[in-house]
């Protein structure tokens, strides 16, 4: 990832095994676990875990 791309830190879950990761979501929607560029379960999709707290519409940054 180069410095020109916008990204945000998120919590994400592997769609195959359910493992939760600290991850980076790029502006193009690509989600990669931090420290594991190959992803999880041979590249299975990661889904961002959204904060569903009342009054919050984003996941808080760590």
pTM above 0.85, yes or no: no
- Can you say whether the dihedral through the CA atoms of 37, 9, 31, 51 is positive or negative? positive
pLDDT of residue 4: 52
Burial 44-55 (b: 16+ CB within 10 A, else e): eebeeeeeeeee
Q: Residues 1-59: pLDDT tens digits?
A: 455 568 999 999 999 999 999 999 999 999 999 988 788 887 789 999 986 665 555 55
Radius of gyration of the chain (CA): 12
pLDDT value for 5: 63
């Amino acid at each position: 990832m180069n410095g020109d791309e916008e990204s945000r830190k998120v919590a994400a879950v592997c769609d195959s095994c359910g493992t939760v990761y600290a991850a980076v979501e790029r502006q193009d929607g690509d989600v990669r676990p931090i420290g594991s560029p190959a992803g999880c379960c041979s590249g299975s999709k990661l889904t961002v875990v959204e904060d569903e707290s009342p009054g919050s519409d984003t996941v808080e940054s760590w």
